[in-house]
Amino acid sequence: MCNEPNYIDRAPSPSRLMRGRVAVCLCPGQDKCGLCASACGFGAIAKRGRVPEVAHDECIACGACVRACPFGNMRLIDFTKAEDTAELTLKIPKKLVQNGLSALADGDMISLFAVGEGQSPDSEVLQAHYLDGGELSLRVRTAKGNAFAPFKC
Ligand code: SF4
Ligand code: SF4
């Protein structure tokens, strides 16, 4: 399991979560990268220090930041679909695809997050699309507790 910081303090407000899909950032900090902020056409991401800050109330969940991040550090989360589960839109880095996330099909159950490692698969694939660069664009249904969990690595 990766030793990652706790990202829950970057969560959108409960009222924003109730309004539907929103971008969240799990970037551990990249000095020379601001691709997510550059990709956002709505001014919803500011990169003042090492870690981007998402203004969740400005986010319209277009997904451009998710597509732009080469490390899979941005994701869209939707807490409005069900009481206990969330839908997440993710870009999985090529390295993790090579580590066993190839040839996924809709409906597959996979083990994607660090929490629950060694236990049952934690996510249902709703949509999987392999990108030209070898990454995986993925939409999954999972426990809300996984919304801020880093990927298994
Ligand atoms: S999902 Fe779109 S609007 Fe929201 S932060 Fe990302 S790029 Fe900006
Ligand atoms: S594009 Fe990804 S790695 Fe770069 S600053 Fe944004 S979240 Fe961090």
Tens of pLDDT, residues 58-76: 999 999 999 999 999 999 9
Report phi then psi at 36, rounded to 5.
Answer: -65, -45
% of the chain at pLDDT higher than 90? 71
Determine the Cα–Cα distance for residues 127 and 104; give it in Å rounded to an integer: 9
pLDDT beyond 60 at 90: yes
21 located within any domain: yes
Which atom of ligand 1 lies at the shortest distance from residue 43's CA? 8
pLDDT beyond 90 at 1: no
Determine the Cα–Cα distance for residues 25 and 150; give it in Å rounded to an integer: 11
Asked if residue 34 has its Cβ within 6 Å of ligand 2, the reply is yes
Q: Give the other-Cβ count within 10 Å of 101's Cβ.
A: 24
Asked if residue 59 has its Cβ within 6 Å of ligand 1, the reply is yes
Asked if residue 130 has its Cβ within 6 Å of ligand 1, the reply is no
Structure confidence at residue 5 (pLDDT) = 59
Q: How far is the CA of 64 from the centre of ligand 2 (A)?
A: 12
Determine the Cα–Cα distance for residues 101 and 127; give it in Å rounded to an integer: 13
2 located within any domain: no
Output the average pLDDT for the chain.
Answer: 90
Question: Same structural domain for residues 100 and 153?
Answer: yes
Which atom of ligand 2 lies at the shortest distance from residue 47's CA? 5
Residue span of the structural domain in which 52 resides: 9-76
Asked if residue 53 has its Cβ within 6 Å of ligand 2, the reply is no
Question: Same structural domain for residues 136 and 106?
Answer: yes
User: The whole model's pTM is what?
Assistant: 0.91
Residue 116's pLDDT band, with cuts at 50, 70 and 90, is: low
